[in-house]
Homo-oligomer: A and B are copies of this chain.
Amino acid sequence: ARPRVGYFYSGKKSGQAITDTMTKWKVKDFQSVPVVIQEHISVYDAICQLFLEDVGSMFVTTKEGNLSGVVSRKDLLRIAIGNQDLTKMPVHMMMTRMPNITVCHKEDTLLSAAQQLMDRQIDSLPVVKQSAKGLEVIGRVTKTTITRAFLALSEEHDI
């Protein structure tokens, strides 16, 4: 066999470069499309939307499009086993409201977003942009996003 001498371009980065990658990765490089619903729709319609989009949580906005709440599968399951009429209850009655929502920004590092998901024990973070009228939701970071990044580390680097 030919001895392996010299350098060969493998198309992957070296192990050393992983350190750079992890600190450089931004939320905007991995964020996914947010699923947004309006706060006046019924809990029943919100649950249908959750299944239709197959997501773990959705962001709720005012009519003007500003972030006002978050609803998760867990929130919806809790309300679904109660005795309320889900078609009559608006989603803003049971959502987690601002300012109790943890958000992130597209220029944040993915590491800091992952840390927030763990510290706050939440499933998803809305990626927001401050505008004159309020907070606009422009993306979503979840533990699925972080799992994708974890796999990308091994795919992009020669390990």
Contact = CB atoms under 8 A, between A and B. Distances in A.
Interface stretch (A97-105, A130-138, A149-157): A149-157
Interface residues of A, number: 37
Nearest to A17: B15
Given A23-B159, A80-B77, A118 B151 contact: yes
A22 interface: yes
A2 interface: no
Given A143-B147, A150-B149, A22 B159 contact: yes
Number of copies: 2
Contacts of A51: 74, 78
Given A19-B159, A73-B73, A118-B144, 14 more contacts: A15-B16, A15-B18, A15-B19, A22-B153, A23-B154, A23-B159, A44-B81, A47-B77, A51-B78, A114-B147, A114-B151, A118-B151, A142-B143, A143-B143
Interface in A47-75: 47, 50-51, 73-74
A73 B81 contact: no
A14 to B, nearest CB: 8
Given A74-B73, A76-B77, A150 B15 contact: no
A89 interface: no
A76 to B, nearest CB: 6
24 contacts: A15-B19, A16-B16, A18-B159, A19-B158, A19-B159, A47-B77, A51-B74, A73-B73, A76-B77, A80-B80, A81-B86, A111-B150, A114-B150, A115-B151, A117-B147, A118-B144, A118-B147, A118-B148, A143-B143, A143-B144, A143-B147, A146-B147, A146-B150, A147-B150
